[in-house]
């Protein structure tokens, strides 16, 4: 009986920290990960990734197709990560990648690799159809103790990537928090 309760408790923890649609960690998982990383004395990269024109996918194709797109983008992003990097669904069509021990150049290179992994191949849909999908990426690097601010800077850089035409990577070198 105790083994069964332990198994069920472990399953509950996994379910409560996993996004059911994408299989990635969800926002609470990411927030827990942020708290853990913030206690380390390392440099961390934050990459905020947003699917370009996702509202149009849902409006034109329907939410079922939007779900297929989200799941496929999640699979592609996760497939590009190695080592201690972690990706999770931050909310809606946004994903957050956290990478320990990276500089701005390394974060930008990873952002470009992730962007390319999405843009290179259209997402396969039902009945032999496919849909091209792109993402915009905002990158920032900071000390683990200031990870929340680093994520805010990545969000600002993401806004710059979208304003700059989408399907691109922007790095928050010196972008102020109030931009």
Average pLDDT over residues 155-160: 96
Taking the domain 2-171, which CATH number applies?
Answer: 3.30.70.270
Is the per-residue pLDDT at 77 higher than 80? yes
pLDDT at 39: 66
pTM of the model: 0.86
pLDDT at 175: 47
Catalytic residue among 11, 31, 93, 170: 93
31 a catalytic residue: no
pLDDT at 83: 83
Choice between 33 and 87, residue whose per-residue pLDDT is larger: 87
| Cβ atoms of residues 150 and 134 within 8 Å | no
Cα–Cα distance for residue pair 36/38, rounded to 1 Å: 6
pLDDT at 34: 77
């Amino acid at each position: 009986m105790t083994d069964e309760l332990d198994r069920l408790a472990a399953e509950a923890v996994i379910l409560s920290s996993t996004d059911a649609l994408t299989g990635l960690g969800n926002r609470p998982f990411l927030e827990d990960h942020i708290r853990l990383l913030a206690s380390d004395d390392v440099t961390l990269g934050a990459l905020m990734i947003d699917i370009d024109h996702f509202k149009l996918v849902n409006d034109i194709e329907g939410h079922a197709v939007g779900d297929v797109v989200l799941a496929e983008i999640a699979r592609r992003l996760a497939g590009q990560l190695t080592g201690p990097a972690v990706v999770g669904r931050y909310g809606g069509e946004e994903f957050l990648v956290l990478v320990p021990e990276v500089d701005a150049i390394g974060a930008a290179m990873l952002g470009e690799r992730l962007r390319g992994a999405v843009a290179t191949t259209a997402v396969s849909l039902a009945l032999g159809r496919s849909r091209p999908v792109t993402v915009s990426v905002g990158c920032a690097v900071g000390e683990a103790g200031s990870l929340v601010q680093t994520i805010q800077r990545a969000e600002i850089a993401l806004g710059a990537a979208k304003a700059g035409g989408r399907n691109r990577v922007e790095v928050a070198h010196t972008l102020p928090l109030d931009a």
